[in-house]
Chains A and B, each alone.
Chain A
Amino acid sequence: MAYDLEFEKPLAELEKKIATLQKKGDRLKPEEHRQIQDLERELRRRTEEIYRDLTSWQTVQIARHKDRPHSLDYLHMICDDFFELCGDRAYSDDHAILGGLSQIDGETLMFVCHQKGRTMKDKQYYNNGMPHPEGFRKAGRLMLQAEKFGLPVVTLIDTQGAFPALEDEERGQAEAIASNLYLMSRLRVPTLGIVIGEGGSGGALALGVTDRILIMEFAIYTVTSPESAASIIWRSTSFAQQAADAMRIGGRELKTLGLVDDIIPEPLGGAHHNPRLAAETLKATIQKNLAELKQIPLDELLEMRYQKYRSIGHFAWADEAPQT
């Protein structure tokens, strides 16, 4: 897998050097063999160095990488069986949200995920992971069904945000999101939310009011995309980089701020450098967390969930109230 992001330029150069040498094949001299080994060691060292302290903006670029695994890639790799459930039973089926029953090591659970596309055609089919109201209503329907059958709910979050077209306003985008927040806050089954790529705005939160919220190491979770934050505060989208860094939206920073419960480590260079390893870690994390959540009595779990969201926020007290 190539290093192709802006800040990965030194890595790409090393990679190129190695590739040129390797092209020689059998004609490699012994000292060139050693050179390759040295270069590879150097590449590894530099990669670790660069990835140790990424800025939020660099994390955004990895989270949006075109080769980054999406929900469906992970489902293929971690589920023994998966049966997709479609439609909101009211208007339509939204492909940007994908959900269904799955079996992992003999255990049944309900997955509700955002799905982005990779090719042009897929992007169109999945609306690039930006849900319409019917998508959120499908998600709500699936979660209620999970509650009915006592199945744990796992959500994989990967969206820029809800789709902002006039048709979505007509069908109640805001109401659809709000209803999901309301519903998830007291769903009577264990719930686990995992941000695997971009966690953007209300469209992400609509699948994210869960008992635990985890984030992959190079994923982001933000109130709105850096571009729109920049256009609101800086009055220009060209300040996206500053906005991303100022809002501190990378996985590691969110963990420091206490906004996520844990980080799921990714392979060196990001999940797209070794999707299979990333999927294995994801699977183990899901199983571990669900096992822990199931131990907690339901009423206690719900009260913990309420307190979790109740306690988020920082404020202070002024000395005196203004004269009104």
Chain B
Amino acid sequence: MAREAAVPPAGEANPNEFQRPRPTTGNLVVKCPKCKEILLAREWEKNQKVCLRCNYHFKLTAQERIKLLVDPESFVEIDANMVSADPLKFVKSTKDEVQTYPDKLQEEMKKSGLNEAVISGHALIESMPLALAIMDFRFLGASMGSVVGEKITRTIELGLARKIPVLVASASGGARMHEGTFALMQMAKTAAALAKLGDAGIPYFSLLTDPTTGGVTASFAMLGDVTLAEPGALIGFAGPRVIEQFMHIKLPEGTVNSEFVLQHGMIDAIIHRSKLRTTLARLLRMYAAEARPWTRGSRALQVAKQIEGNDGLRPGI
């Protein structure tokens, strides 16, 4: 897939600030944070929350993205009730307030209506099955703690068990400080699960959305067999604010984004939101359509043989 011609030049309006998701119901108009155009909410939603004038891709909730990507009614959620524990008994204390991690979680649940920062399950795209996990930035900046790590690992294991491709749509501020070193270790956990998936010869697609940074970028987000990104998404390890603080420099707007990582060879393609589903369908068809006898004897096959119920040819769909 080549770069989309319609993609405007690099840049999000202000990469230094994450925009709060705007209320979408009740508002007749929304303002594009990039080009400041006033958009009719109805038309904007019909356009999959992409600015009609400058192509700015607004953040989507996990539910919206699932609706966008998969066949209607095909999504089945797993592990919906998994919630965070508090292994460190983390307390944020300042002079005026004391806030425990469970308090913070309650607050985030109420605000977002979600149990955690990722929704996972399985679905069909053009009738082809896949396991998928979609991150939702509204929940505590979609930071990765034990639950995010566990749900993504289980999604990968679902792909492994059913021999179906895996898709993770990332959006994250990085690791979750409230879980300290437990959060860090989720990077190892997800990467190790992907190594198993890779050994079994099952494709893994990574979709990067705005913003993908920190420990998420440095683990499963950057390990895709195919890595796609939405236009203008903030994508990086450190993120512009950290780079500016640490290096004492001022970065031009929209430096560390989809266009930047594509230019530097870190991803395969930038795909406009309207083309995402068809693109994924094409990939599913090409990566997972028929038996490939030449994988006989490869590392992939040896692992595939160990997986129960495999005919030894290739992990079937």
B90→A247 contact, CB < 8 A: yes
On whether the beta carbons of B199 and A182 are closer than 8 Å, the reply is no
The answer to whether B237 touches A168, judged by C-beta atoms less than 8 angstroms apart, is: yes
Binds B, one of A57-65, A67-75, A108-116, A238-246: A238-246
A175 touches B222 (CB 8 A): yes
Taking A223-B175, A310-B192 as contacts, is the C-beta distance between A247 and B180 under 8 angstroms? yes
Measured between beta carbons, the chain B residues less than 8 angstroms from A162 are 218, 237-238
Q: Which residues of B contact A309 (CB under 8 A)?
A: 185, 188-189, 192
- With A and B bound together, what is the CA distance between A313 and B154 in angstroms? 13
The reply to whether the CB of B48 lies closer than 8 angstroms to some CB of chain A is: no
Range, interface on chain B: 35 or more
B196 within 8 A of partner (CB): yes
Assess whether B223 is in contact with A179, with CB atoms less than 8 Å apart: yes
The answer to whether A259 touches B113 (Cβ under 8 A) is no
Are the C-beta atoms of A209 and B80 separated by less than 8 Å?
no
Q: Which of B162-213 contact A (CB under 8 A)?
A: 174-189, 191-196, 198-199
A306 touches B196 (CB 8 A): yes
Binds A, one of B9-17, B239-247, B286-294: B239-247
Contact yes or no, A246 B92, CB < 8 A: yes
B220 to chain A, nearest CB (A): 7
Q: Mark A247-271, 1 if CB is under 8 A from B, else 0.
A: 1110000100101000000000000
- Asked whether A13 is an interface residue with its Cβ less than 8 Å from the other chain, the reply is no
| Binary interface encoding of chain B residues 77-104 relative to chain A, with 1 for a CB under 8 A from any of its CBs, else 0 | 1001111111110111110000000000
What is the CB-to-nearest-CB distance from B206 to chain A, in angstroms, rounded to a whole number? 10
* Chain B min CB distance to A214 (Å): 14
A324 to B90, CA, bound (A): 29
Number of interface residues of A (CB under 8 A): 61
Contact with A along B238-264 (1 / 0, CB 8 A): 100011001101010001100011001
In the bound assembly, the distance between CA atoms of A208 and B175 in angstroms comes to 17
Asked whether A165 lies within 8 Å of B91 as measured between CB atoms, the reply is no
Interface flag for B236 (CB, 8 Å): yes
Q: Cβ of A169 and Cβ of B192 under 8 Å apart?
A: no
A322 adjacent to B113 (CB under 8 Å): yes
- Of A202, A246, A324, which one neighbours B218 at CB under 8 angstroms? A202
- Proximity bits, A34-60, B CB within 8 Å = 1, else 0: 000000000000000000000000000
8 Å CB contact of B243 from A169, A178, A181, A201: A169
B219 & A181 in contact (Cβ 8 Å cutoff): yes
Check if B26 is an interface residue, CB within 8 A of chain A.
no
Chain A residues whose C-beta falls within 8 Å of the C-beta of B266 in the assembled complex: 172, 174-175
Among B149, B153, B188, B265, chain A packs the most CB atoms within 10 A around the CB of B188
Output the residue of B115, B189, B237 with the most chain A CB within 10 A: B237
B107 to chain A, nearest CB (A): 14
Whether A181 lies near B187 (C-beta < 8 A) is yes
Q: Is the CB of B247 within 8 A of A164?
A: yes
B147 touches A (CB below 8 Å)? yes
B120 within 8 A of partner (CB): no
The closest CB in chain B to the CB of A200 belongs to B184
Q: Contacts A223-B215, A324-B63 given; indicate if A316 touches B85 (C-beta within 8 A).
A: yes
Interface 9-residue window, one of A16-24, A25-33, A227-235, A290-298: A227-235
Give CA–CA (A175, B189) in the complex, Å.
16
B183 to chain A: which residues have CB within 8 Å? Answer: 223
Q: Which residues of B contact A222 (CB under 8 A)?
A: 180-181, 184
Give complex CA distance A307, B63 in Å: 32
* B155 on the A face (CB < 8 A): no
Residues of chain B within 8 A (CB-CB) of A170 are 260, 264
Complex contact B175–A174 (CB within 8 A): no
Inter-chain contact A246/B243, CB cutoff 8 Å: no
In the assembled complex, how far is the CB of residue A285 from the closest CB belonging to chain B, in whole angstroms?
21
Pairwise interchain contact B265-A312, C-beta atoms closer than 8 A: no
Cα of A166 to Cα of B180 in the assembled complex, Å: 26
Instruction: For B217, give its contact among A174, A313, A319, A321 (CB under 8 Å).
Output: A174
A7 to chain B, nearest CB (A): 20
Whether B81 pairs with A171 at a CB distance below 8 angstroms is no
Q: Are B85 and A314 in contact (CB under 8 A)?
A: yes
Shortest distance in angstroms between B183's beta carbon and chain A's nearest beta carbon? 5
Q: B184 contacts A201, CB within 8 Å?
A: yes
Shortest C-beta distance, A268 to chain B (Å), equals 26
Q: Is the pair A315, B146 in contact by a Cβ cutoff of 8 Å?
A: yes
Q: Smallest CB-CB separation from A187: which chain B residue?
A: B195
> Which residues of chain B have a CB within 8 Å of any CB of chain A?
63, 77, 80-88, 90-94, 109, 113-115, 145-147, 149-150, 153, 174-189, 191-196, 198-199, 214-215, 217-223, 236-238, 242-243, 246-247, 249, 251, 255-256, 260-261, 264-266
Subset of 12 A-B contacts with CB under 8 Å: A183-B195, A185-B191, A222-B184, A223-B179, A233-B92, A247-B177, A247-B180, A314-B179, A318-B83, A318-B115, A323-B113, A324-B63
**6 smallest beta-carbon distances between A and B, as pairs:** A313-B146, A164-B238, A181-B191, A185-B192, A247-B180, A321-B80
